Homo-oligomer: A and B are copies of this chain.
Amino acid sequence: MALAMTTSTYSLDDLVHRMRLHSQLCDLDAAAVLGLPFAVLAHDQFGAIMTEGDAVDFCFVVLSGMVERSRLGLDGGKQIMAFYVPGDPLNLDHLFIDRADDDLCAMRETRLALIARADLRQLMADQHGVAQAAMRIFAVDASISREWLVNLGQRTAEQRIAHLLCELQLRGENVGADSAGARSDRAYATPWGVNQVNIAEATGLTPVHVNRTLKAMEARGLLRSGRNGIAVDDWPRLGRVGEFDSRYLHLGA
């Protein structure tokens, strides 16, 4: 697993930022969130955060790194159902449900904030704006998984990959207050530790086919793919290929 640490070096800034992507949040609300007590948990790559069936008493928020939510098929197949980037709460559902539905797993070196369920509940009861913002994140996450449903059900391999890349890029750009500055290299979609196997698990394709499809897309000039990740020069074009319409992310205020 990992070790708990002092909280001094880390903050919930990114969480507040994420809340502000969807909701107006007054300064009082923001301060209240930043004042939440939390522990920090460090995970290595492939660190299992929780497993289906676990009883969970904390809400987790990604401080750095990246997390996947997945369910296993009986035949050994793994379906990734969501990715979480810094600022994202992993399991707001555990405010209402006691047992984990899914596996959560760090995809690279990751730090998480652990907030006691009771504390978050209390805060949500006291500060209506916080409750509203949290619920909106929950609703947006549901909207995202429904869009993934469309992706798996209705789109070709190429479209699925294009769509996923666009989503990751846009969400990545919106991480942290200094978004624009921090990730100025807009071309690269995957320094996040997302590899072709991950893409396969998220899109319901085989790694082999993901690779072939990426190479075909590269041949058409849609992107460049290789050991260093995937580079995209023309995001609008990729978006058109993947039928990407960002409304489902609800980023506009």
Contact = CB atoms under 8 A, between A and B. Distances in A.
A93 B204 contact: no
A146 B75 CA distance: 18
B146 A71 contact: yes
Q: How large is the interface on A (under 10, 10 to 19, 20 to 34, 35 or more residues)?
A: 35 or more
Contacts of A141: 142
Interface of A: 69, 71, 73-75, 77-79, 81-82, 93, 95-97, 101-102, 132, 135-136, 138-143, 145-150, 152-155, 203-204, 243, 247-248, 250
Contact of A204 (B77, B142, B154): B154
Given A81-B150, A96-B135, 13 more contacts: A71-B146, A71-B147, A73-B150, A73-B155, A73-B243, A75-B243, A81-B149, A82-B146, A97-B139, A97-B143, A141-B142, A152-B152, A154-B204
Contacts of A154: 73, 75, 77-79, 204
Nearest to A132: B96
Nearest to A69: B146
Given A73-B243, A96-B135, A102-B146, A204 B140 contact: no
